[in-house]
Amino acid sequence: MKKYIANITAGLMAFTLLAGCNKGDGTSNAIPPAKEHTCSFTQEVVAPEYLKKGPTCTTPAMYYYSCTCGEKDKDFFTIGEARGHRGGTATATQKATCTVCGQEYGDYAGGTHTHAYTERVTTSKYLKSEATCGDPAVYYYACACGEVGTDTFEYGEPTGKHTGGTATATQKATCTVCGQEYGDYLEETHTHAYTEMVTTSKYLVSEATCGDPAVYHYSCACGEVGTNTFEYGEPTGEHTGGTATETQRATCTVCGQEYGDFAKPEEPEEHVCVFEMVVDAQYLRKKATCEYPASYYLSCTCGETSLEYFYNGAKEDHVELVPATELSRAICAVCEEEYGDFLPHDHVYTKRIVSAEYLKKAATCGTPAEYWLVCACGEKSTSLSYQAGDPTGKHEVGTPATTTSQAVCKNCLQPYGETLLSAVTNISISSGYTRYDLGTALSRKTEGFGTQFDTCIVEQQNGMSEADWQVQVKALKEMNLQNVRVRFYPEMYERGNDNNDPYSFDYQSASVDFNSLEMQHLYKLLDAFEENGVKVDLSWYGCRTTFASEDGLIKGSWLGGKLSESYNGLTPNWIVAPWKTSNPNEEFAESVAECLGYLFNEKGYTCINEYSIFPEPDGMFNPGTGKAM
């Protein structure tokens, strides 16, 4: 209870002090009321409560402007210097990489350096002019090595804060930078006198027209707009609006008078014929016959016809010239060709025609070919035949030869040729060579016929059409291809490191693209192999230094570098072992495993029978260690 009484007492005392007292001489010692405060954000106070952003590698610290009352503005100022890049080690071919922001900086180590003024660094070193009320700050472009260029760029926003000049009771202060008036008049008693004739847009009532000059409000010297008006200048004398026709001039929408010229008649556009296929008697070229359908000239909507023509409809029936008999067909009066059937008759098989159409049995080693006898109408017999020609004299294998017996012909059943042993014995061996005879069969079964089948055959640069691809597929089927090896690289789908963690693959990374043009080529091959039961060896050759993506975005290998680069004084081959990143072998293994998982689980391929890595290592080495694979 005492606490509350003390507070009430203190309040009454404060009230008494504020109320003051009358001295008796007409004056008072009362404290006058405080004036209303309007914030003016002109203070540049470097304190934590006004900090917008601390200094970075490329920008100095930023603080908000503040008022003397402590309030802070939305605009800010910079102070001090940027921290600058740090860390990393430069080489002859690569600048140092900042350990803070990850950007390259500085110069190359021990090499000739050509300045490239492309860096936008906003520190005082590169400042050309500070931001003003109407313009942002201007900086010189810099080279990554720190050299200052001559070209400039703008950064940030104008301050929006005018400066300089002195306000009076009748005129605001004039900015010494942009020349505009700003701020307020001096706080003096001012009576407006609207006597000024100022012809700026601020006082414009109506613009000049064809018949009247412009009209403005009178104004006060302080800039206040009055209500009375005055005319200024001359009428424009130029009418506006309305549309002229061939029989009437345009009517001005301001004064209502006609003006200008009559509209000129429109000239017809030059006609360019477009010929189309129209079936109409007026475009008929030739009527239909037994040889061709009716033909029509291509025509335009204007009635013109082209020299080109097209066919439409069906052919007409033949027109009989010579009727059919039992031994001959009818002859057409138009095309003069035979057509139709023979008249009904009893077949007489007396004609001998040596043709595959009438072949009964082909010639063999000991017998000539046998043909069916034919009727004059073309009908062949099914019981009467004759022989023609000579035997081939060539035996066909019925029972194959062995080491002790000859082969037996399947037609004449006679043995012929040499035994396998005599054939082997009679082989001539050239000088300098040694003969080895294999007497036992291999224990391993031959899996099938195979070949190399790479994605490069369907790359866009090789110009293979869909028709060309179908020729490849047809050959694959007709050759009964059973096994293929497909050359493959990590760069085809992992175009850059997914996340620098070989134990966690990021499928959503911008560097991973399983739908790249290169992968689409692979899917085209795998679809054909899947459909035709071909077993696939997907072979990761290594890291391709000459890799160039078809979309033009990727050059070289993120794991193996580029062919044009030199590592430890060694020039790489077109394929190298993984050596870049902190864990190159693990990154390569992760890339292979995740790709196989995608092809099996997402794409559902079952034709991939095996995979291999570094199948041709003789041309490979690790540029990082200088050791051959």
pLDDT digits over 440-475, tens only? 555 666 777 789 999 888 887 788 888 899 999 999
Q: Which residue has the tokens 């390259």?
A: 104
What is the DSSP-derived secondary structure letter of residue 492? G
Region 134-148 average pLDDT: 88
d(CA 114, CA 111): 10
d(CA 130, CA 184): 26
pLDDT in tens, 38-60: 888 888 988 888 888 888 888 89
pLDDT in tens, 61-94: 898 999 988 888 888 889 988 888 888 888 866 7
Compute the Cα dihedral for 540, 541, 547, 550 and give only its sign. negative
d(CA 225, CA 43): 34
Q: Is residue 2 over pLDDT 50? A: no
3-state secondary structure of 39: coil
**Residue 374: how many CB atoms within 10 A of its CB?**
21
Of the given ranges (263-277, 400-414, 552-566, 613-627), which has the lowest mean pLDDT? 613-627
pLDDT in tens, 495-526: 999 998 999 999 999 999 999 999 999 999 99
Q: Phi and psi (nearest 5°) for 485?
A: -115, 130
Whether 217 contacts 225, CB under 8 Å: yes
Q: Which two tokens stand for residue 47?
A: 């304190």
Whether 78 contacts 112, CB under 8 Å: no
pLDDT at residue 18, rounded to an integer:
39
d(CA 107, CA 120): 16
Question: Taking phi first (over 0 means left), then psi (-120 to 50 degrees means alpha), and beta for anything else, what does residue 568 get?
Answer: left
CA end-to-end span of the chain, whole Å? 92
pLDDT at residue 569, rounded to an integer:
64
Q: Which residue has the tokens 């060579």?
A: 433
Of the ranges 10-14, 167-171, 297-301, which is most confident?
297-301
pLDDT at residue 218, rounded to an integer:
92
Whether 101 contacts 56, CB under 8 Å: yes
Of the chain, the percentage scoring pLDDT greater than 90 comes to 31
Region 341-347 average pLDDT: 84
Whether 351 contacts 373, CB under 8 Å: yes
Of the pLDDT bands very low, low, confident and very high (cuts 50, 70, 90), residue 33 is low
pLDDT at residue 7, rounded to an integer:
40
pLDDT in tens, 318-335: 988 889 887 788 899 888
Q: Which two tokens stand for residue 494?
A: 């992992």
> H or E stretch including 20?
none
Compute the Cα dihedral for 575, 580, 582, 588 and give only its sign. negative
pLDDT at residue 17, rounded to an integer:
38
pLDDT in tens, 88-133: 888 866 788 998 888 888 777 765 678 889 999 989 889 999 888 8
pLDDT in tens, 547-556: 999 888 999 9
Of the given ranges (79-83, 188-192, 406-410, 602-606), which has the lowest mean pLDDT? 188-192
HSE value, Cβ hemisphere, 13 Å, CA-based, for 232: 17
Region 344-364 average pLDDT: 89
Q: Give the distance between the most distant pair of CA atoms in the chain.
A: 163
HSE value, Cβ hemisphere, 13 Å, CA-based, for 484: 24
pLDDT in tens, 562-617: 887 766 666 678 888 888 899 999 999 999 999 999 999 999 999 999 999 988 86
One-letter amino acid for residue 293 of the chain: P
Q: Is residue 178 over pLDDT 80? A: yes
d(CA 448, CA 420): 25
Q: What angle do CA 353, 357, 360 make, to 5 degrees?
A: 80
d(CA 50, CA 70): 9
d(CA 599, CA 463): 27
Q: Which two tokens stand for residue 335?
A: 């095309």
Region 210-221 average pLDDT: 89
Q: Which residue has the tokens 């008049």?
A: 185
pLDDT in tens, 255-284: 888 888 888 887 778 888 999 999 999 999
Angle formed by the axes of helices 517-531 and 466-478, nearest 10°:
40
pLDDT at residue 494, rounded to an integer:
94
d(CA 305, CA 564): 63
Region 157-165 average pLDDT: 86
Of the pLDDT bands very low, low, confident and very high (cuts 50, 70, 90), residue 188 is low
